[in-house]
Structure 1
Amino acid sequence: MSAESDATERTTVRTYVPAYQKAEWAEHADELDMSQSEFVRTMVQAGRSGFETAESESSVATDDNGTGEEAGSADETPGVDGLKDRVQDILADGDYYDWDDLVAELTDDIEERLDETLQELQSDDRVRYSGRHGGYVLDE
């Protein structure tokens, strides 16, 4: 792969934030006439400008397996990074949540994210929808 294609290839980054924070970011992005992705990307880059490389490298700890992954939450559920933190954030308002309410809070943006992802994959000609077959398939 050439250096030029490395610089222009796009990839997905996912993060989880409380709903109120996402709403604030969306509002700010609208005020700046930016997409939410562009807003987050710009803010992350702006925040990174204050950190020197040596500081960034020292903030990464080696995990128990010696793989060099970031040390962080003790939540070891595969594929569910930060779930304990997210649940605590939801419960921090002091209200009682039943199981269904917690599930709804944790998955509130999944439909929006899935729709955006499918749109991106379709625009990249990587996935297509077939009305005849009633679903999505990889476009090979």
Structure 2
Amino acid sequence: MSDSADTSRTAVKTYVPAYQKAEWQSHADDLGMSQSEFVRTMVQAGRRGFEPDREQPTSPDADPGGNALETRVLELLSADSYSWDELLEAVSDDIESRLDDTLEDLQSDNRIRYSGRHGGYTIVGGDDGD
């Protein structure tokens, strides 16, 4: 995010059927979130699969409660029972996929590269003489 990005808050309004609002409120209550926080978090989670607009700043509180892992664990456990190892694998797979996608994006944008000399990834134009 650039230093000049406007991080002030503003309202966003949408209209949904009453039953959907009630479901969202119930889910938000189950997660200990406000409805606004719930909707903001779900929108950000849904955007993960889309290429971000690099010109627009991202929300400073994409995970406003700081509990994305908690939310993911609750989502998993709401559908089934998991052992420690199964839960660890389920949440680790998501971060591995996201890291892989991010590294590919950064390399295709020529912002990082893999450097055997430095034992891994490095920023393009870093202190290695690039």
For Structure 1 versus Structure 2, the TM-score category normalised by the shorter chain is 0.3 to 0.5
TM-score scaled by length of structure 2? 0.43
Higher relative contact order (CA 8 A, sep 6+): 2
TM-score scaled by length of structure 1? 0.41
